[in-house]
């Protein structure tokens, strides 16, 4: 596997390159970049067809928003500056990211600058007209922050016994992220930003659905390339001749979390397991392509979102059958499967609701 981008470049081009940039983190950045492009395209399309509209916005000077901006500034300065310095010194930036260490001076300075900027922007800036897609840089940042928190919290709940005995290791380890935790916290943040800017939540949900599916697929590429532990159970079935070994039962040599037996200078699983991140990456990118092709044909608000709930829930529920996630005693389901069932139920309920609105509407139309 390729824990760092340097490992990947060395393998592809047969040269020795020392780049400590983590493969998983790079793919996550690409996932956000891909989602950004899709979100912007959908915001523009929805504005052009009159579904959503631009708005007049005046910077706020509420104390809470000043504090929030100062906090964001501190977080960026405290961590980003320290990570840049670590990269320049060829140190491992990931161990620094998932720790309490950072650059206090840079954090305090940037917190002061952002706090002052938020306070005085209200006085010096007049109301301005902005298009919904211009909110995307702010949306991406806030979704990333709260999605990260949600992914960590859900993982902590999933490994509750470990959390009780060693909370610091669980909360600040470089591994251990739950997709649905990041999705739910990120989605709530995204919807709240839309609500604050007077965009109907159902339109926000429709706009975000294809991008979320694409981001998940790209993110799973990072899981597969780095070998971050999100693999499946041991595959004991006979491999068909037409399927490559790495796509059927893989041992994840040189995986990012150093799991398995140590041989040939790296860790490797003793038995081949289902490469579930690979399956999810391929499947979710294909699902995104299907959603993207039909998006203009869906005239009913909410239809795209309910399709996303159904597809996401079905995909995740069945992939969990062959994944090594902890199962709860009740019904022997994993945390992800329980949430996936709720997603599927939400999708079905949504379509029932849309159908009921149509058939019981005097004009047979849904506004």
Find the range with the poorest average confidence among 146-150, 157-161, 245-249. Answer: 157-161
Look over the chain and give the mean of its residue pLDDT values, rounded to a whole number: 85
3-state DSSP assignment of residue 250:
strand
- Cα separation, 302 vs 280, in Å, equals 25
Residue 367's pLDDT is: 45
- Which pLDDT value is given to residue 49? 92
What is the value of pTM for the model shown? 0.82
Residue 144 has a pLDDT of 86
List, for residues 339-361, the tens digit of each pLDDT value: 999 999 999 999 999 888 766 65
d(CA 217, CA 256): 19
pLDDT surpassing 70 at residue 61: no
Domain ranges of the chain: 26-52+167-359
Longest dimension (CA), the chain: 72
Please state, in angstroms and rounded to a whole number, the distance separating the CA atoms of residues 66 and 61. 7
Give every CB contact of residue 178 below 8 A, 6+ residues apart in sequence. Answer: 150, 151, 154, 155, 158, 335, 336
Measured between its terminal Cα atoms, the distance across the chain in Å is 51
Q: What is the pLDDT of residue 164?
A: 67
Q: What is the 3-state secondary structure (H, E, C) of 265-329?
A: CEEECCCCECCHHHHHHHHHHHHHHHHHHHHHHCCCCCHHHHHHHHHHHHHHHHHHHHECCCECC
Task: Give the residue from 171, 255, 344 showing the smallest Cα distance to 333.
Answer: 344
Q: What is the mean pLDDT of residues 77-83?
A: 78
The pLDDT of 230-256, averaged and rounded, is 93
With a CB cutoff of 8 Å and minimum separation 6, the contacts of 35 are 140, 211, 212, 214, 215
């Amino acid at each position: 596997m390729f824990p760092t981008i340097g490992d990947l470049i060395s393998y592809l081009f047969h040269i020795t390159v020392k780049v400590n940039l983590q493969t998983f983190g790079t793919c996550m950045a690409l996932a956000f970049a891909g989602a950004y492009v899709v979100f912007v395209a959908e915001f523009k399309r929805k504005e052009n067809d009159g579904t959503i509209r631009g708005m007049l916005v005046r910077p706020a000077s509420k104390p809470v928003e000043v504090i929030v901006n100062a906090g964001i500034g501190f977080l960026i300065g405290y961590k980003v500056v320290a990570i840049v310095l670590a990269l320049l010194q060829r140190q491992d930036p990931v161990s620094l990211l998932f720790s309490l260490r950072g650059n206090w001076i840079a954090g305090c300075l940037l917190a002061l600058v952002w706090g002052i900027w938020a306070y005085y922007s209200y006085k010096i800036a007049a109301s301005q007209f902005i298009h919904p897609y211009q909110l995307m840089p702010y949306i991406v940042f806030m979704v990333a922050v709260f999605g990260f928190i949600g992914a960590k919290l859900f993982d902590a709940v999933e490994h509750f016994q470990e959390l009780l005995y060693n909370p610091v290791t669980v909360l600040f380890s470089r591994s251990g992220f739950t997709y649905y935790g990041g999705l739910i916290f990120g989605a709530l943040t995204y919807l709240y930003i839309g609500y604050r800017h007077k965009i109907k939540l159902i339109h926000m949900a429709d706009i975000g659905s294809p991008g979320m599916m694409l981001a998940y697929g790209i993110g799973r590429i990072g899981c597969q390339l780095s070998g971050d532990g999100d693999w499946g159970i041991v595959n004991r079935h006979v491999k068909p001749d037409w399927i490559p070994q790495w796509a059927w039962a893989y041992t994840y040599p040189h995986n990012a979390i150093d799991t398995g037996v140590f041989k040939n200078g790296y860790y490797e699983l003793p038995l081949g397991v289902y490469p579930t991140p690979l399956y999810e990456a391929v499947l979710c990118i294909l699902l995104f392509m299907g959603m993207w092709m039909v998006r203009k044909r869906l005239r009913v608000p909410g239809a795209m979102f309910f399709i996303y709930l159904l597809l996401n829930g079905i995909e995740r529920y069945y992939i969990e059958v062959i994944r090594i996630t902890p199962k709860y005693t009740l019904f022997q389901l994993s945390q992800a499967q329980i949430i996936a069932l709720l997603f599927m139920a939400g999708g079905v309920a949504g379509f029932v609701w849309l159908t009921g609105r149509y058939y019981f509407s005097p004009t047979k139309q849904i506004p």
